[in-house]
Amino acid sequence: LAISMREGGNIIDLGRQVEETVARVESEYPIGIDFTFIQFQADPVNRKVNEFIGNLMQAVAIVVIVMLLSLGIRTGLVVASLIPMAMVMALMIMGFFGIGLDQMSLASLIIALGMLVDNAIVMSESIMVQMGEGKPAIDAAVDSASELRVPLLISSLTTVAAFLPIFLAESGTGEYTAPLFKVVAITLLSSWILSLTMIPMLCVTFFKAKQRPAETAYESRFYQSYRRFLLFALRHRAASVSAVILIFILTLRAFALVPVKFFPDGDRPTFTAELRLPVGSTLENTDRTVAEVERFLRDEMLVDADAIAEGVEGVTNWAAFMGEGAPRFILPLYVEQETPEYAIFIINATSRDVIDEMVPDLRRFCFETFPDLKAQIDPLPLGPPITNPIEIRISGRDEDVIFGLVDTVKAKLHSLAGPIGISDDWGARAKKLMVRIDEARARRAGVSNLDIAISLQTALTGFDTTQFREDDKVIPVTLRSVAADRRDLGKLESLNVFSQATGQSVPLEQVADIEVAWEPADIRRRNRLKTVTVQSDLEPGVTAIEIIDQLTPWLEQQQSNWGLGYSWEFGGEYETSIDSNRSIMVKLPVAALIIVLLLVGQFNSFRRPAIILITIPLGIIGVVIGLIVLRSYFGFMTLLGIIALSGIVINNAIVLLDRIRIEIEENGLEPRRAVVESAQRRLRPILLTTGTTIGGLLPLYLGGGPMWEPMAVAIMFGLLFATGLTLGVVPVLYSLFFKVSYRDFEY
């Protein structure tokens, strides 16, 4: 029994209703009623939501601890008060726009968590510094809000704009990840509103900053160390910029060490076994094959409740679907169309780890027992549905030439380490009965092609002559020859063809020649050209991009020997990855234009936005180092992490450059002094926002599962290195762009 849910429904409530119904039926019919949930989506959804809520609470706790340790009890509590208020406000707005709670929206809240306190930190820091310089609390709050309302809004909008390509992406993957933009935008704008209203009010109420001379505000050992580093970089600008460029180039070269994978395998204890018999196989043959596989599962892998209680791992239950695909109980599941030679198993295991041990054994059994069977056995995937990780499509007009090329490609795949289950979508050639009608003889005998077709259909397939009605059922009555005659070629040649024009019958061999030929069982076209798709699965630990990198130069070399009109292209995971990444990349100019317009409008300058845009790629340095150190991979979610990282880096640079402008235009400092003072004044807020963002993402890295781990790694390490470089590179670039010399400068 498969139950679907209406759009906008609550799967947790639906699951609860199903469980109650099952319990009621079992109580009313205690004899012979047995319910087994093969896939009960309410449980994994509820578990995943609870895990993400737990991660969110852990992230909140980490961020609060970081702020309390860095800012002190009083300031830390004021800033931390923004978190629950911003979360509640964001959830209210999400409910208004119909954005539900799922792993994507919850992960978006975790990502936004570290960024939403940025506004509060900058605001409270500014108020506290001005109060320390002798301003009354209300004046300090009003001046800080007036000074920071536009910079904080611009920084929030630029961060949101960095997520915009995810929302605009015209692909299934983009639709799947669209809540990232929506939730981050709602949360950051809620944070901005509260930072201009609630935070100044709390600062006036609770802050009691001690007055201290401005010249001693940054004389601690920490600030002195940073100032020495900054002044060294400013006095040696060419060497500093050259060093950063060199590090960036070396990092890009090290990117080759990072494995590339579009989406990882899922972490649920479920895997699928897709069985494809040769094209033309009957449903009875598929049934016998499924029965043998079930027998193997029952004898070799099935464990009962007692064994599970003792710690034995294996298969708990399964369901088999023959002739069509299984119900689409998860988004990445590809549903096969109706065909008699196809079957799929949905198999549940005791844990995810044991699946990696059972899959090779089941593959080996299928290969040794059914040599002509293609068995594709894999854990449940994440991301968009992909039929095969490796697909090479070869197109042309002459099928004999195409299959010669297909055999060459298959031989190349067999020579590589990694591909398994190599086949093609046309299948093995099938034996067909060719009836070649002699038109001249048929006309002389008074027999038409339709007469021959009807006679052959009657003898081989059967001809519906009438219908038998029983109650409300209609049963067709089919006329055809006995099975022995249908399998005897000699009797087919002597088959009498009835002429509807003359009312006489003539033997089939008198008007046609019969021969047996081997022909493709399935002919497929793409762009009106005959196209054969070579398909392959992969050994565990081997990625599709590794095989593609080896095949690409070989195929380019081989194509020079192919005739005109024959071509190849990749499908499978590579094509899906390229399409998904392209759907994001083509929308990046829109986000870039919005960011540039916001920055130019904020600074009324082109040089300052140029400085900010130059600092964006610096995050790549940390991303690559993090992926290598933590042995993660580059995939679609990693790309989204880099895009999100760019918005955070822009945020830090905006705050720093805006402070330089204020020191020069409003406080009257000379440019050299203003750069150093601004860097010192914004040092602690930038470090705090970096610390809170990284701390907030730690639970997502540790407990978010294989899909969210690379994204968290990209943002954490990218932000860590980008912050360190930003605090040095932005002042250096400013001094270069505005020709501020530090040759004889003394602080």
Summarize pLDDT for 637-668 with one digit per residue, the tens: 888 888 878 877 887 788 788 888 888 887 88
Percent of the chain residues past pLDDT 70, beyond the cut: 97
**HSE-up (13 A, CA, CB side) for residue 86:** 34
Residue 212: which pLDDT band, with cuts at 50, 70 and 90? low
Q: pLDDT-based confidence at 433, cuts 50/70/90? A: confident
Average pLDDT for 400-426: 88
Q: What is the pLDDT of residue 394?
A: 92
Which range, 149-163, 280-294, 516-530, is most confident?
Answer: 280-294
301/622 Cα distance (integer angstroms): 44
pLDDT at 237: 86
Output the six-digit token pair for 367: 């290969």
* pLDDT tier at 186, thresholds 50, 70, 90: very high
The structure tokens listed for 189 are 């704008």
Note the pLDDT tens digit of each residue in 439-461: 888 888 888 989 888 888 888 88
pTM (predicted TM-score): 0.76
- pLDDT over 80 at 320, yes or no: yes
Q: What is the pLDDT of residue 193?
A: 92
Closest by CA to 633, choosing from 575, 584, 573, 582, is 573
The string of DSSP letters for 446-466 reads: T--HHHHHHHHIIIII-EEEE
Q: Are 392 and 534 in contact (CB under 8 A)?
A: yes
Task: Give yes or no for residue 539 having a pLDDT over 60.
Answer: yes
pLDDT of residue 486: 67
311: Cβ contacts below 8 Å, ≥ 6 apart: none
- How high is the pLDDT of residue 109? 82
How far, CA to CA in Å, does 353 sit from each of 305, 350, 539?
19, 9, 16
Residue 379 neighbours by CB under 8 Å, 6+ apart: 265, 266, 268, 270, 271, 352, 355, 356, 359
For the chain, what is the mean pLDDT?
84
Give yes or no for residue 40 having a pLDDT over 70: yes
**pLDDT value of position 96:** 87
pLDDT of 8 above 70: no
What pLDDT sits at residue 555? Answer: 92
- The arithmetic mean of pLDDT across residues 99-119, rounded, is 78
Residue type for position 13: D
Specify the range with the lowest mean pLDDT, choosing from 1-5, 186-190, 251-255, 378-382: 1-5
pLDDT, one tens digit per residue, over 45-70 is 788 778 777 877 887 788 788 877 87
pLDDT of residue 347: 92
The rounded distance, in Å, linking the Cα atoms of 129 and 219 is 14
**Separation of alpha carbons 404 and 568, rounded Å:** 13
Long-range contact set of residues 438-442: C-beta below 8 Å, sequence gap at least 24: 438/511, 438/512, 438/513, 441/510, 441/511, 442/511, 442/512
Instruction: Give the tens place of pLDDT for each residue, 678-707.
Output: 888 888 878 888 888 888 888 878 877 787
pLDDT of residue 61: 83
Res 296: pLDDT: 93
Q: How far apart are CA 496 and CA 719, in angstroms?
A: 83
pLDDT at 720 over 80: yes
pLDDT confidence tier of residue 286, bands split at 50, 70 and 90 = very high
What pLDDT band is residue 209 in, cutting at 50, 70 and 90?
low
Share of the chain above pLDDT 90, in %: 9
Q: Quick check: 424 pLDDT over 90?
A: no
Give the per-residue pLDDT at 100.
79
